[in-house]
């Protein structure tokens, strides 16, 4: 049984093909520059040479047709025909307070969830374009929506409410929703496995640090608080997003610089964060190289990003009272030892100590690593996230009629014996080049 997952952005489609029976990834890929010209597909299939080809995709429908044609290609494909695909899982960024769990997509869902577009104008419309395109090409299989916001529906009202006029929430849905929920769910379950603890007796701080970034406080296995808010703009310093800012700055720039609301929206979402600070870079690898050469703005960006992460770790440690593990995940979290080092420095009073040598060596997307330092009361893990796997299992469970909210459902990757075959193969290759990684691999009790 094959399950396809799709993550549609405004100009891209990321996909994964998963063999449910064999519990193995058959292919992953990305179509870029959809609708803007110069489109291309990068397709990576198990046991085959990577396939990269230019192909114009003026619409998401064309992009998904390209993906499906590639999947059945005699040379690059991984399935015999379309009938092999039994379900499709779609990422939907914002489900608001209405959609609190993964669902099979029906007309009522599309109508209701479209009302959330104002809450995620950069994300939801693209997600819906992908859903409609995929349904047009694959009309006879169940399509499932996996909401980023669903994980955070367990937050208490004093964590998700804003101190604004009451009618703002009641009439205009102004409240904290949080994002990266699929990633947090995966990491929370895997961290509990690595700790050898009941997931619902586990307290965690999970830092999902990528171009978009947020931190999640997990109390007794449930989301308790998170740094992103009503939109993905609040919280940490990100690649192009400002994160936390005094709201008065917005009115100041409107009055003094004559900016419109649209100008401010664009500036805070697309021209701020690391890019805004440096004036040149959003990619942390570029910032790291510039900082190594003494670039003052790159150093400032590095220090600001890490300092904001440190502040949230401290705040959530206070909110939780007891922390069993600190988890770093996503692109920078998994591959950015400098960011982790700066963020964890000075947290010894909270019982958090990282091993600096292990941290420096911990750059691997194929293994769960333990960088806990001597005397640390809190475990520190680097866990490669796997949002696609959560989407895949949710889609399967919805199709099979076994789906429940995560608090009542046990994912197969929670088993101690769970093995990601694709990553295991990748790890073997990594160990050939970096044998020292073996000493960093987290051990399951």
Q: What is the pLDDT of residues 403-438, one digit of tens each?
A: 988 889 999 999 999 999 989 999 999 999 999 999
The sign of the torsion formed by the CA atoms of 223, 167, 114, 111 equals positive
Catalytic residue among 19, 148, 295, 430: 148
Question: Would the pLDDT of 134 be above 90?
Answer: no
By C-alpha distance, which of 75, 28, 18 is closest to 390?
18
Q: Point out which residues pair with 19 in neighbouring strands.
A: 2, 24
Other CB atoms within 10 A of residue 439 CB: 11
Six-digit token pair at 356? 């600096």
Sorted by sequence, the CB contacts under 8 Å of residue 87 that are 6+ apart come out as 3, 4, 141, 142, 143, 144, 395, 396, 398, 399
Q: Point out which residues pair with 27 in neighbouring strands.
A: 17, 45
Q: How far apart are CA 28 and CA 244, in angstroms?
A: 34
By C-alpha distance, which of 123, 111, 110, 168 is closest to 149?
123
Q: How far apart are CA 176 and CA 190, in angstroms?
A: 25
- Three-state DSSP class for residue 49: coil
- Three-state DSSP class for residue 53: strand
pTM for the whole thing? 0.94
- Describe the crossing of helices 247-257 and 261-270 by its angle, rounded to 10 degrees: 120
By DSSP bridging, strand 143-147 and strand 213-219 are unpaired
What mean pLDDT do residues 135-157 have? 92
pLDDT value, residue 373: 97
pLDDT value, residue 209: 96
Give, in order, the Cα–Cα distances in Å from 437 to each of 54, 195, 367, 368, 429. Answer: 36, 20, 9, 10, 11
Domains of the chain: 2-144 (3.30.420.40), 181-383 (3.30.420.40)
Residue pair 10/126 in contact (Cβ under 8 Å)? The answer is: yes
Q: What is the pLDDT of residues 35-93, one digit of tens each?
A: 888 899 999 998 899 999 999 999 888 888 899 999 999 899 999 888 889 999 998 87
Vertex 336: Cα angle to 12 and 237 (nearest 5): 70
Six-digit token pair at 52? 């990269």
Sorted by sequence, the CB contacts under 8 Å of residue 314 that are 6+ apart come out as 347, 350
DSSP annotation of 372 reads B
Six-digit token pair at 205? 């701080």
Give, in order, the Cα–Cα distances in Å from 189 to each of 142, 186, 204, 222, 227. Answer: 26, 5, 10, 10, 20
Residue pair 148/182 in contact (Cβ under 8 Å)? The answer is: yes
- Of residues 333 and 107, more confidence is placed in 333
Question: Would the pLDDT of 33 be above 90?
Answer: no
Sorted by sequence, the CB contacts under 8 Å of residue 435 that are 6+ apart come out as none
Residue pair 330/209 in contact (Cβ under 8 Å)? The answer is: yes
Q: What is the pLDDT of residues 83-111, one digit of tens each?
A: 889 999 998 878 777 788 899 998 777 77
Q: How far apart are CA 353 and CA 355, in angstroms?
A: 7
Q: Point out which residues pair with 41 in neighbouring strands.
A: 31, 53
Residue pair 127/90 in contact (Cβ under 8 Å)? The answer is: yes
Active-site residue 19, yes or no? no
Q: What is the pLDDT of residues 182-239, one digit of tens each?
A: 999 999 999 999 999 999 999 999 999 998 899 999 999 999 999 999 999 999 999 9
pLDDT value, residue 35: 81
Confidence band of 115 (pLDDT split at 50, 70, 90): low
pLDDT value, residue 36: 80
């Amino acid at each position: 049984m094959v399950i396809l997952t799709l993550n549609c952005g405004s100009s891209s489609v990321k996909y994964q093909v998963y063999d449910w029976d064999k519990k193995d990834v058959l292919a992953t890929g990305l179509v870029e520059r959809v609708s803007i010209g110069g489109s291309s597909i990068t397709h990576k299939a198990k046991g085959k040479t990577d396939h990269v080809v230019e192909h114009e995709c003026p619409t998401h429908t064309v992009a998904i047709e390209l993906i499906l044609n590639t999947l059945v290609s005699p040379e690059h494909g991984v399935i015999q025909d379309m009938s092999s695909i039994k379900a499709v899982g779609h990422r939907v960024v914002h489900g608001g307070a209405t959609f609190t769990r993964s669902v099979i997509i029906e007309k009522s869902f599309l109508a209701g969830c479209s009302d959330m577009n104002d809450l995620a104008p950069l994300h939801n419309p693209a997600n819906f374009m992908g859903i409609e395109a995929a349904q047009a090409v694959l009309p006879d299989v169940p399509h499932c929506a996996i909401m980023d916001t669903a994980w955070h529906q367990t937050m208490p009202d004093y964590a998700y409410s804003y101190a604004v006029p009451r009618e703002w929430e009641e009439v205009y849905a102004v409240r904290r929703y949080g994002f990266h929920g699929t990633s947090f769910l995966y990491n929370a379950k895997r961290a509990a496995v690595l700790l050898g603890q009941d997931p619902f007796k586990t307290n965690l701080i999970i830092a999902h640090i990528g171009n978009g970034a947020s931190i999640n406080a997990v109390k007794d296995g449930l989301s308790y608080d998170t740094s992103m808010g009503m939109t993905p703009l609040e919280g940490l310093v990100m690649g192009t997003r400002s994160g936390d800012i005094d709201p008065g700055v917005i009115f100041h720039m409107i009055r003094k610089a004559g900016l419109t609301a649209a100008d401010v929206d664009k500036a805070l979402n697309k021209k701020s964060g690391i890019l805004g600070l440096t004036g040149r870079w959003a990619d942390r690898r570029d910032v790291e190289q510039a900082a190594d050469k003494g670039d003052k703005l790159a150093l400032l960006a590095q220090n600001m990003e890490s300092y904001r992460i440190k502040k949230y770790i401290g705040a959530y440690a206070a909110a939780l009272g007891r922390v069993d593990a600190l988890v770093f995940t996503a692109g920078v979290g998994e591959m950015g030892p400098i960011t982790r080092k700066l963020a964890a420095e000075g947290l010894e009073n909270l019982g958090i100590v990282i091993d600096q040598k292990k941290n420096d060596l911990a750059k691997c997307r194929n293994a769960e690593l333990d960088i806990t330092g001597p005397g640390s009361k809190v475990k520190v893990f680097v866990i490669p996230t796997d949002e696609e796997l959560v989407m895949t299992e949710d889609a399967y469970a919805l199709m099979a009629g076994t789906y429940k909210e995560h608090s009542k459902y046990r994912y197969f990757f929670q088993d101690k014996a769970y093995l990601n075959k694709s990553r295991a193969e990748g790890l073997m290759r990594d160990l050939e080049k970096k044998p020292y990684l073996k000493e960093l691999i987290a051990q399951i009790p």
